[in-house]
Structure 1
Amino acid sequence: MPPNNPNDLPSTLSLAAAAYSSNLLLLLDCWNNLEGRERAYLPKETKEPSQAWADRIKRTTFDNRFEPAIKDYAGLLSVFSLNEDTAQSILGNQNNIDQMGNDLWTFFHEVDQYCLRDGWCGVMVEFPPVDPNINSQADLLESDRRPYLVLIDRRDILNWRTTKINGLPQLTRVTIRETRLEPEGEYGEKVAVYYRVLIPGEYFVFQIIETKGEEQLLLVEQGTTSLTEIPLVYYSDTESGLFSAKAPFLNLAKLNIEHFQKRSQLNEVLRKCNLPVPVRKGLISQAEDLKKVPPLVIGPNSVLDIPKDGDFYFAEPSGVAIAASREDLKDLEAAMDRMTLDFLTSGEHQKTATEVVLDSTKTSANLKGVARRKESAIQQIFKLWVAYTGEIEGGGITQDEDLLSMPLTPEQTGKLEDLQSQGLISHRTLLLLLQAGKVLPRQFDIDAEVAMTQQVQVKDEVLSE
């Protein structure tokens, strides 16, 4: 039987998801360079011919400032290390954390991009169905059956139910839309949409089938999990309220669209100014003359008859608005730069050291808050992971504390090397200072390097004797 109420279908959007859907569409359009969506932002003008509209759209390229800004910020957050108490099963699978070949750092770099673009996303900890051959935790750790992480786009988390436990909201149900490519015919394929409904300890997968104009709900899969909670973590770098974070760069996306529209307007003005209109005066004095006058032909091999007291010239637009339009575009670009990390390099004037430090301090403080939320979210993800494997501690990550600090300059590096060569600091201290100054990578093993250097020195001394 078809559902009597549309809200009984798992495809129903929550009120919060529906209210924010138009913003999410704009954000995704900017992220995708407006590909196939240009007409939505450069609408057809009144009485504008369809071909002229299409040509106008082709003449302006979207200058994407939104996507690079997101990736720049996400790149700053990608410098982190695993804590010493991280579970062995996570360490053992850190190079393929999602069963798609992505290591832990690559996976969370993409998660951060989704999160900064849309405000939040979901990370689900999946676990394959029970294998009857696994009888102990040791068997589980030795087998290929293990948890893995799945990134869930905010747009695919359609609705949810929560309850408060100890004053904190806890998920009691959530619906995730899944889009799958399935074979159709001998060589073709089709897109099929499924709805995964998660509740603590169980899951159901539905498909909505339309027959005779009615929607039928079909249960295609169901199963249980060993957890007492839903294995989905709300991941936000900006707000802790469950499914409530707004996109931090929404205004940047809107300005980027405005920039695209005004660039298009400027291009049209420039085009019209570069295409003057020929004007011939005196040949047509009444309506009947229109039928007698031959078509106007202009070229190196043509001549024009101009009647007495007539005239011929090209009418050119004045172009007064061009300078103002260009200044307006510069103002927009400056506003967009202020919303990104470009303040360190952009601007008409050279910034003083104090200005750079103040801007850097504000941004660094904001990024450190973002980093703390990331550490908390990943700790929750690891906790769900070990709830599946039975390990005691999930562990977590530690973000780079100096997110915006600049690496040591060659001059500073040289001074440290001089101190070491003069015997004022040890070789190990030099390496530690270079690592802290971002000259050496964070994962560089200083102890191993010192041990190797000492072995080489001993070998050289033996050979010299």
Structure 2
Amino acid sequence: MSNDDPSIKLPAVDRMREYWAIVDPLMGGTQAMRAVGKTLLPQYPAEKDDTYAERLKLSTLLPAYAETVASSTSRVFAEPLQLGEDVPEPIKVLSTDIDLGGNDLNSWSVEWFREALAKGLCHAMIEHQPTRDAEGNKLYKTVAEEQAAGVRPYAVIIKPGQVLGWRFDGGKLMQVRYMESVEVADGDFGVKCVDQIRVLEPGSWRTYRKADKGGAWEKQDQGSTSLDYIPWVTFYTGRTGPMTAKPPLLELAHLNVKHWQSQSDQDNLLHVARVPLLFVFTDNEEFQLTISSASATRMPKDGNAKYVEHTGAAITAGRDSLKDLVDDMRMAGAKLLQKDKQAVKTAAQANEEAAQELSPLARLAGQFADCIAQLLQILSDYGSLGDGGHVEMRGNFDSDFAPEVSLPNLISMANSGKLSDEALYSEMQRRGVISDELDWAAEFARIQTQPTKGVSLDD
């Protein structure tokens, strides 16, 4: 393939696609796993094609990987992200419909984070509606005219599988290429999707399409931007280098695939074991057996027939193995919430504390807030608004995400005098059982003045 071909993929892209070949079907669910067939569910050496096809059709996925990604994302967005007071008002207005699709910044960000957590990274860019015609002439004379026409920048998520390649120079992103699908008119009423490669460079962009299926990629369109950099932001959850990453939950993905295969084996074993096999013991080669409720079978002398059933030992072993796999997957998924020591980032912070305990998921939330701030800055640069401001993530990174499990223990400790009432109150607030707007001191004062509850024996 020629180096002038815009569709050429970098070797790093091919390496990452090996990870995504496992992750994508897991995220897609049972149908997606069935669609990849023998890639993730091998055929037995002596298994006939029709038998394998039937087994594949009956296999079902325990969605451990997809649910772990979804629940971790829900933790990060336990509360909507908050725009800082330093965010310019025009950007706050844009954030109510950040993608021109009716999604506000928070709901749009959920998809960006979830995709990055599943794949190891995900990209976003700020696109701008055209302000010039094909010849490069301005369509609007003033910014006021652009605003009146509704021309504005908007955010686009670029999934990692779309990216074909990139170039850096001195640490600055100088080129990025990705595949996209665009709708074009087809006759008077229909539409069709056409593959298109978009090439971004500082201050400019161009697109390529094929004239026919077997043809070469030809330049379709080009244009310029008012920025001297590429309006591109990459959020990493498992960074291995510039524009490269490894899914942070890849080991969970492998365990989930193993469970998919083992579950298929177990279901197939159950199917076989539920049908007893009839064995006939006789030396008479001419003997013919007829099995029917309306007929009787005459056995030769000294002949015998009996049903042979599975002992069930293999079924029990398979069930135990599946349970162990579920436990292993639970442990692999929980590693995002395991706190470890992280050195502080600045000298100013070092004066306040020596170290800070953060779980990997909490750190990812902080990095994601930085990426959102970068997008806000690009929006600000398009409008010459100065500082784009920041956002705050208020996630729930407590390993106790199910308060109904731990609250009975806390209440028991308080009743036995092993935990103060104030500490119990604080723990309930932390779990969202009691509103954060309530204050312990005020509540304690009210408790002291309220009537004693209970029923007298004389009543």
What per-residue deviation string (whole Å, max 9, x for no partner) do you get for residues 251-273 of structure 1?
A: 11111111011011111222211
1:365 corresponding residue in structure 2? 359
* Cα 1:225–1:342 shift into 2, 3 Å: closer
What per-residue deviation string (whole Å, max 9, x for no partner) do you get for residues 367-411 of structure 1?
A: 221122112211211111111111111112112276328799999
Which letter maps to 1:21? R
**Partner Cα separation in structure 1 for residue 57 and residue 239 of structure 2:** 39
* 1:3-402 → structure 2 map (5 Å cutoff): 5-38=1-34, 39-40=37-38, 41-78=40-77, 79=79, 80-130=81-131, 132=138, 134-141=140-147, 143-164=149-170, 169-185=171-187, 189-210=191-212, 213=214, 215-239=215-239, 241-282=241-282, 284-285=284-285, 289=286, 293-294=287-288, 296-341=289-334, 359=338, 364-400=358-394
Cα deviation, residue 274, structure 1: 1.2
* Cα 1:258–1:127 shift into 2, 3 Å: same
What per-residue deviation string (whole Å, max 9, x for no partner) do you get for residues 76-99 of structure 1?
A: 222321111112222012221100
Cα deviation, residue 14, structure 1: 0.8
* Maintained 8 Å contact 2:185/2:192: yes
Select between 71-80 and 155-164 the one with higher mean Cα deviation: 71-80
- Corresponding residue pairs, total: 394
Cα deviation, residue 246, structure 1: 1.1
Cα deviation, residue 361, structure 1: 7.2
What per-residue deviation string (whole Å, max 9, x for no partner) do you get for residues 117-172 of structure 1?
A: 001111010011116564444555555111110001000011011111xxxx2111
Computed over aligned residues only, the root mean square deviation of the Cα atoms, in angstroms, reads 3.2
What per-residue deviation string (whole Å, max 9, x for no partner) do you get for residues 158-213 of structure 1?
A: 1011111xxxx2111110100134444566554310000011111110013447x5
Which letter maps to 1:150? V
**Partner Cα separation in structure 2 for residue 187 and residue 301 of structure 1:** 66
* Cα 1:133–1:189 shift into 2, 3 Å: closer
**Partner Cα separation in structure 2 for residue 173 and residue 342 of structure 1:** 35
Cα deviation, residue 70, structure 1: 0.5
| TM value normalised by structure 2 | 0.77
Percent of pairs with identical residues:
26
5+ residue gaps, structure 1, are 344-357, 412-432, 445-465
**Partner Cα separation in structure 2 for residue 98 and residue 440 of structure 1:** 36
* Maintained 8 Å contact 2:359/2:397: no
SS of equivalent to 1:340: helix
Select between 359-368 and 69-78 the one with higher mean Cα deviation: 359-368
Cα deviation, residue 284, structure 1: 3.7
**Partner Cα separation in structure 1 for residue 172 and residue 256 of structure 2:** 37
* Cα 1:406–1:259 shift into 2, 3 Å: closer
**Partner Cα separation in structure 2 for residue 366 and residue 241 of structure 1:** 18
**Partner Cα separation in structure 2 for residue 396 and residue 441 of structure 1:** 26
* Maintained 8 Å contact 1:201/1:229: yes
**Partner Cα separation in structure 1 for residue 115 and residue 395 of structure 2:** 22
**Partner Cα separation in structure 1 for residue 434 and residue 108 of structure 2:** 23
| TM value normalised by structure 1 | 0.76
Which letter maps to 2:331? R
Which letter maps to 1:207? R
**Partner Cα separation in structure 1 for residue 385 and residue 93 of structure 2:** 13
Cα deviation, residue 283, structure 1: 5.2
* Cα 1:27–1:157 shift into 2, 3 Å: same
* Cα 1:302–1:183 shift into 2, 3 Å: farther
* Maintained 8 Å contact 2:266/2:315: yes
* Cα 1:89–1:318 shift into 2, 3 Å: same
Select between 183-192 and 393-402 the one with higher mean Cα deviation: 183-192
* Maintained 8 Å contact 1:179/1:193: yes
5+ residue gaps, structure 2, are 133-137, 342-356, 409-426, 438-459
What per-residue deviation string (whole Å, max 9, x for no partner) do you get for residues 308-353 of structure 1?
A: 011101122333222221121111100111123499xxxxxxxxxx
* Cα 1:303–1:185 shift into 2, 3 Å: farther
**Partner Cα separation in structure 2 for residue 36 and residue 434 of structure 1:** 41
* Maintained 8 Å contact 1:121/1:154: yes
